[in-house]
Amino acid sequence: MIHIAKPYLTKREAQSAYDAILTGWVTQGPNVQRFEEAFAGYVGAKYAVAVSSCTTALHLSMIVSGVERGDEVICPSMSFIATANSILYVGAKPVFADVHPKTYNIDVEHVRTLVTKKTRAVLIVHQMGMPADIDAYRQLCAKYKLKLIEDAACAVGSEYKGKKIGSYSDLVCFSFHPRKVITTGEGGMVTTSNKGYYKRLRLLRQHGMSVNDRARHLSNKVIFEDYLELGYNYRMTDIQAAIGIKQLEKLDWIISQRRKIAGRYNDAFRDIDCIRLPLEETGYFSNYQSYPVYIKMGAPISRDGLMQKMLNAGISTRRGIMTAHREIAYRDFCKRCRLPVSEDISDRSILLPLYVPMSNKEIRSVIKAFRGAFR
């Protein structure tokens, strides 16, 4: 079976985890700080705050940006459900915008029509590693005095106009889930250049505690902590951070390999008229966290039929990105949602295997099976 994705973990990560265990710091400790500093330096942000997942990163970002009960936050429905869930966590209402049919990223023109007096923030998603038009959203948010939050769960290492995702906005959230380009098993990160956000994010991730465990451990004086506000247990462990440090060191190489595989798919499938391949416009640099193919109306095979043929050939695929507004949990919020582009892309797209290392034999097998399905 050729899998849809695999994490790229080696003996170096295993040794780092082993070494971290032997130090005795198995919860948040010195490796977390090292990982945060290295990650902030990599993306070009002043600060980075490691947390337990991208979902918790989004939740904390909602809190520090001032989103409260009764507010509205505009976001795409075509995203993993955690995007919308993070808005509900603070009692706000997700307002779903449609996406652009070629980039799959949230459509700024549709967003404009959804802004109301209740709108507090816009949450954009860099879909499958392809950057959204950040400048367009910065201008829109400045005009309407809204907060801009980036869901960059899939976009570590991706670039927009020559700069890494994570350096543009005050709240950018990343994921280190095994399906992502680098992994810590579970885990997430928030990058920011806002010192106030940075301090509060650090406070909230550890129960609102005024002094963390490591500071008390290293102090030569007795210290008693205070609990300054309602906080959460959203910490990353030192074992995870040790793995993350090693993963970050090889991130650029991993992306270069992923882009080579995506390039081979592009070359192999470009002549198939009834499909649409990923679009990477000038000024946009994708890490190709996923490789989506859109099956046009009138194609000789349906999306689901294609997935079954690929599975019969021993190749795992996935459906297009889900739409939250059609899930049971969101039906009460979206009784009048009209998102035709999102629904069409979700229903007619397939994700092909893409991981590192992927052998030439595996790549050729995917190409052969995919092309063969259209004959």
Evaluate whether 135 touches 142 at the Cβ level (below 8 Å): no
**Residue 180 annotated in active site:** yes
The rounded percent of the chain whose pLDDT value lies above 90 is 90
Q: List the catalytic residue out of 93, 180, 296, 361.
A: 180
Binned at pLDDT 50, 70 and 90, residue 213 comes out as confident
Distances in whole angstroms, Cα of residue 186 to Cα of each of 50, 54, 59, 235, 252: 11, 9, 16, 11, 20
Evaluate whether 73 touches 62 at the Cβ level (below 8 Å): yes
Binned at pLDDT 50, 70 and 90, residue 11 comes out as very high
Which CATH superfamily hosts domain 252-373?
Aspartate Aminotransferase, domain 1 (3.90.1150.10)
Judged on CB neighbours under 10 Å (0-12, 13-18, 19+), 4 is middle
Structure tokens at 287: 């890490």
Q: Tell whether the model's pLDDT for residue 223 goes beyond 80.
A: no
Rounded CA-CA distance 190/61 in Å is 8
Residue range(s) in the chain whose domain bears CATH number 3.40.640.10:
11-250
The predicted structure's pLDDT at residue 205: 97
The class that CATH gives domain 11-250 is alpha beta
Residue range(s) in the chain whose domain bears CATH number 3.90.1150.10:
252-373
pTM for the structure as a whole:
0.95
Evaluate whether 125 touches 147 at the Cβ level (below 8 Å): no
